[in-house]
Amino acid sequence: MTHRFDFLVLGSGIAGLSYALKVAECGTVGIITKKERAESNTNYAQGGVAAVMSQLDSFDLHVRDTLSAGVGLCHRDAVEILVREGPERLRELAQIGVEFTRNQAGELDLAREGGHSINRIVHSHDLTGREIERALVARVTSHPNIQVFENHIAIDLLTEHHAATKHVIDRTNIHCWGAYALNVHENAVHAFLANAVLLATGGLGHVYLHTTNPQIATGDGIAMAYRAGATIANMEFVQFHPTSLYDSGSPSFLISEAVRGYGGILKTQDGEEFMQKYDERKSLAPRDIVAYAIDTELKRRGEDFVLLDLRHLPADGIIEHFPHIYETCLNKFKLDITREPIPVVPAAHYACGGVLTDTNGRTSIHGLYASGEVSMTGVHGANRLASNSLLEGLVFSDRAARDARRFFREHPVAIPEIKDWDDSGTLNSEEWVLISHNRREIQQIMWDYVGIVRSNLRLERALRRMDLIRNEVETFYKKTKVTEGLIELRNLALCAMLIIKCAMKRRESRGLHVTTDYRERNDKEFLADTIVD
C-alpha cells in the first residue's frame, strides 16, 4: 500500500508535532510513530525548557552558558538562533494550552539547573515534557490536515536507490521522497511518499545498557539517514545524565537536574561531599563534569552508587516542586526523598551528535530535514547544557517548517515510481533469541567500553566485536521478514558502530568524550566536528 502526503514526519515528540502543526497550514501531513502518538523522549523530560524569560536574565548570558557547556564545539550562529528565538516559541506553546508553573504573583516560576548562571528553566512542575506533549497531541489530533499512523516503524528512507526505474546514484545529489514503514499490527510494509520529509525520531539511549530513555530510543533516524547517504557528525558525544535512580529498572528513573538546582547535594555513601574536588560550581556543575566525577568516585571506592541528599531542605518545598519524583520514589521504590538520601548513578541520556543540518534543519539530502535529538545543529557542541533540548526541538522545527513550506511552494517535487516492498525469498524466523541476545550484547559492549571513560584499547575491542555483530545482524536481516525488533536491532548496531568510529577519531578529552590515552583538550588538532559520511 502507498500513502501520499505533502509533508511526512517521522516521530511524534516535540520536534515532530510542532513542525507538523506549522506545515499543515499549507498541505497534508502524515506522521509515522513507533508506538502511541504521545510516546517519545519529550514525554519523559522532567526538568523544563531553558529560555530568557526574566529581566534579570539576558540573551548574552544564555549564549555564554551554552558555549561554556559545549567546550568549544558549539556553532555560535546556531546558539544565537536558539537563544534569541526561544522565548517566542515558548509563548506559542502557552497559546496552544501548555500550562507552565507560575508563582503566587502569576509569573513564570523559573528554576535553575547545572551549568546555568541564573534561574531560567520554564517548567510544569517536574513533568514538563508530558505537559507539552499533551497540548501538542491535542492540537495534532484535531487538525484536519494531519493524519497520524501509530504503531508504524520506519525501515528506510526512499531515495534514488528505491526508484522503479534505474537512477544514476550520485552521493552528492541524493533526494528523499518518503520512507518504507512497517505496520506492526498488520505485519505489512507500506510506502509513504512526500515532497518533504522531517526526521524527528529522537535519540539512541538503548545503545547502552543503562539509559533514562524509553524503549523506542534506538537511533532509527540516524541509522536510516546514514544508510541513505546523509552526513552524520559528533556521534562520540553521548551525554550520561549523572543522577538516575540506582537499580530502578529499564528505562532508569530520572532524578531531574532541577533537584540539584533546588539545592540537592551529591555525597558519597559515607556522607562526604565530593563535587568541590572537580569543579567550583560543585553539584551545579554541567552534566559532563558531574557524571565524570560520580564515575570516578564509584571506581575509586568500589561502590555502586552515590547519594543525592535533600534532607537539609524543607519537606513541603520538595514535595511542591517535585511531586512526580516524590510520589514515584515513595510509592514505587519505597523511598521518602524528604527523609532519605537518593541513591543515584549515571545513565545514558542524550545524544549531542546526529544527522548534520544547517540552521534551517536541512540535511545533506534534498527534501530531508531533521530536528530534535536526531539532528546535529551545532547547538550542543561537546556537551548539552541542561534543558536546551526541548528548546532546540521547538526552535529548529519552526525554522525547518518555514523552509519546508518555501521548498514545497517553490520546488514542485516529481516523485518517481517507487518499488514495492519485496520480501520474497525471506523467512519468518523463529530465532528471536538471536535478536534479544544481540541487543543485550551491543548494550553491554557499549556500556563497558564506550561509556563515560574510554581508552584506545577499549575502543578497539568494541570495534572488533561490533563489526562482527553488525555483519551477523545484516545477514539475518536480508534473509528474514522484517519485525519491529529486527529493525531496531539493525539500527542499534549501526549507531553503536558510528559512536565507536567517531570516538576513535577524536584523540583528545573534551566534554562528554573522555579518554585515558589523551587526557588533555587539544584545540590545535580537534577544535572541529567529527564528520562521518
For 97-114, how does the pLDDT look when each residue is reduced to its tens digit (9 = 90+)? 999 999 888 899 998 988
Mean pLDDT lowest among 122-126, 308-312, 474-478, 508-512: 122-126
Task: Render pLDDT for 131-169 as a digit per residue (tens, 0 to 9).
Answer: 999 999 999 999 999 999 999 999 999 998 888 777 666
**Residues labelled catalytic:** 287
Mean pLDDT computed over 27-38: 86
Determine the Cα–Cα distance for residues 463 and 449; give it in Å rounded to an integer.
10
Residue reference for cell 507538523: 20
What is the side-by-side strand order in the sheet with 342-351? Answer: 238-245, 342-351, 306-309, 265-267
- Run of H or E including 191: strand 188-199
Q: Where are the domains of the chain?
A: 245-347, 432-522
Sign of the Cα torsion 222, 395, 254, 298 reads positive
469 pLDDT exceeds 80? yes
Partners of 141 in beta bridges: none
231: buried, middle or exposed (CB in 10 Å: 19+, 13-18, 0-12)?
middle
Segment 402-414 mean pLDDT: 88
Distance CA 484, CA 416 (A): 28
**Which grid cell sits at 210?**
543503562
Confidence of residue 42 (pLDDT cuts 50, 70, 90): low
Domain 432-522 fold = Methane Monooxygenase Hydroxylase; Chain G, domain 1 (1.20.58)
Question: What predicted TM-score, i.e. pTM, was given to this entire model?
Answer: 0.92
- DSSP track, 71-128: TT-S-HHHHHHHHHHHHHHHHHHHHTT----B-TTSSB--B--TT-SS--EE-STT-H
pLDDT at 430: 64
Provide the pLDDT for residue 412: 79
For residue 161, count CB atoms less than 10 angstroms from its CB and return exposed for 0-12, middle for 13-18, buried for 19 or more. Answer: middle
pLDDT value of position 405: 96
pLDDT at 435: 83
Q: Give the model confidence (pLDDT) of 301-344 as tens digits.
A: 989 899 999 999 999 999 999 999 999 999 999 999 999 999 99
CATH no., domain 245-347:
3.90.700.10
Is the fold of 245-347 the same as that of 432-522?
A: no
Answer whether residue 464 shows pLDDT above 80: yes
